[in-house]
A and B are shown apart, each in its own frame.
Chain A
């Protein structure tokens, strides 16, 4: 009876060890530090090339889009420091100036954050808009390509 129990304990221990090993290596390989822009500015020399996430607000008026090279650039701020971000490709829905965003990537020696992934954040709280828009005012934006009918 004792030998039998031992067999199960050993089998269970092997499974658990495999699980722990898997988790350990998984965590080690994909750990990403989260910094605020001011933390990044303070530590930028020591974290060069490391996988990081930086979270902050997108600075008003800072978004630039270069369609030929698919290059998106903007500034992230936490109110104290600003970080220049370059992202290849387009941003997700909900990404906008004045809203929160988290970018994933690394600090490049050229002095900007090279982002490989943008995660936009939004809040569900109700804030009445300062200048309420109508459908008409949105329509004006696209007057040159406006058509009637369905696609």
Chain B
């Protein structure tokens, strides 16, 4: 029943979406307002149909209708309802349906928001924006209708489903994938506007201004998804790390890099009308990398723990990718004479160059990550030998580039446009630079000797110095001229140039996260030992005593845990209970790690192995200094983006409230 209905809905959606593409292009070409109105209705019908499909699949998942292969694979009677719901994005077919649903929602939002009261220059672009967005949807719908169909049947109907991978039965599963998909889908909006600008030849800065906020919000979701993924991996996967340069992680990181470059280079085009082609290339790359990443991880072409099974999906994604690249670069070439910029670089020492360099470095990192990820494929194609480059390659290449980026984060926002005079440089950078050198010297005196850590701190202090200095000077000047209190002046400043100051706050967040990454990866200590009851294992200032094993029944699994008591400098600190979860029908157990999280140091314990009689257990202890700074940095980034994109009215209200409560 659901299989038939769901399959029918998908095919109907294919038809409606195809019609939406044709009608919007035809309406725009012929100037037929009735066709355009009809195409907008098709966009709405499309979102309704896909929503219905989502409801049908969710209904099947929640009611455990195992006649659907997808439900049998990703759900089980025993699961909690929320994990039955999360089964929707538990593997390939459902993920694509979810993606397509978000895609259709975003398209409907764009249409609803811009078709009548859009900003200047929006109207002529809209039919093509719509056509591009519906075209992307059409690909996903065809993928499901003709490839891996989420409504495919299974026969005989199994008595119970296999269920989600137990690793995925955690609350994080409800958040992390959604954030990533929202980010991926979000970037399709600026991409669609870029393509519309190319198709119509209206290549002024309009498409950038309109999509600015969409881009930043997409970036926020993608950033949030990446940070959340690291946090999830750290807290629940039993290896004590947060990033492994796994192909699927790289797949989300590559569009993030080009997307970040895009956010920056857009500012140059707005201000100086330069880099028009470059911006089009960047947004095309970002969108293509999203598709490429999905191809890479979903086709099973590279081995990855995240990868779903292989099949015809790979070919379909690759064809779509080729189409996107051909279409967008073809258009850029076709419009090349209209794309000549007006501005020109005046000097190497200028904000334009700093931003250009930032773009080069970001795209450079993206390229190295790309190369490292596909290296096994390349080497096999060229030399016939499977050669891979692992974590050492990625670390070796990305650390120096990351350092360069860190330095540029301090220089870029403050250096003058056009040509920076010696005076400008001195005024903006002398104090922060001296402060950074002094602070780093203090760290050296305190015994920090590792070159990469010192360098990271030097640049980090420099960035923090420039940002704080900028905030301080601007606040003081405003407080003097308007005779406001310092806090009021600061709040008004934030409001007046939200984009600039929001951006600076994001930079602070990135710096905090980079400090966390540098310190935790250099000073991490790890120790593993088998202990009998009553024995202790000591690491640094900590020691961990093993007080015996226990086991208990949980709704879906048996949990075996070790009772540990952690001491710091001989004083009792915290009880820790790392364990292993044993699921029926799963041969190997899953780790259930425990840790004492603290703002400057985490004590992290894993139960790696144990004797069934409870006599001994192998415990792994990790000390991860400052790893929380990564997550705190993520929080600061979120805050900065909110400052940058919050609608004016909302902020004005806050400002009024702030003024009513004098500082």
- Interface, chain A (partner B; CB < 8 A): 4, 7-8, 11-12, 15, 19, 22-23, 25-27, 29-34, 53, 55, 65, 67-68, 70, 89-90, 92-99, 102, 104, 119-126, 128-129, 132-135, 137-139, 141-142, 144-151
Contact = CB atoms under 8 A, between A and B. Distances in A.
A30 B390 contact: yes
Contacts of A150: 552
Given A70-B618, A126-B72, A33 B387 contact: yes
B584 A151 contact: no
A67 B367 CA distance: 43
A135 B389 contact: no
A126 to B, nearest CB: 4
B400 A22 contact: yes
B550 A151 contact: yes
B620 A134 contact: no
B393 interface: yes
A11 B354 CA distance: 12
Contacts of B582: 138, 141-142
Interface residues of B, number: 77
Contacts of B162: 126, 128
Nearest to A90: B608
Nearest to A149: B552
A29 B393 contact: yes
B351 interface: no
Contact of A27 (B303, B393, B616): B393
B122 to A, nearest CB: 35
A67 B609 contact: yes
B373 to A, nearest CB: 13
Nearest to B166: A93
Given A32-B388, A126-B69, A146-B551, A67 B616 contact: yes
Contacts of B393: 26-27, 29-30
B614 A138 contact: no
Contact of A124 (B308, B391, B397): B308
A144 B560 CA distance: 11
Given A22-B400, A96-B587, 4 more contacts: A27-B371, A70-B529, A92-B239, A139-B553
A63 B571 CA distance: 39
B406 interface: no
A148 B305 CA distance: 34
28 contacts: A4-B345, A8-B348, A19-B364, A19-B368, A26-B368, A26-B372, A26-B392, A30-B389, A30-B392, A30-B396, A31-B388, A31-B389, A32-B389, A33-B386, A97-B587, A102-B303, A104-B390, A121-B303, A121-B305, A122-B165, A124-B309, A128-B158, A129-B585, A137-B584, A138-B558, A142-B582, A145-B550, A146-B552
B29 interface: no
Q: Main SS of chain B's interface residues? A: mixed
A90 B584 contact: no
A29 B584 contact: no
A34 B390 CA distance: 11
A142 B558 CA distance: 9
Interface string B550-572: 11110011111101000000000
B388 A34 contact: yes
A135 B572 CA distance: 36
Contacts of B616: 67
B88 to A, nearest CB: 15
B530 A27 contact: no
Interface in B290-327: 303, 305, 308-309
B659 to A, nearest CB: 48
B73 interface: yes
Contact of A89 (B387, B528, B557): B528
A56 to B, nearest CB: 12
B345 to A, nearest CB: 7
B583 interface: yes
A12 B278 CA distance: 15
Contacts of B553: 135, 139, 146
A91 B466 CA distance: 46
A119 B244 CA distance: 11
A11 B352 CA distance: 14
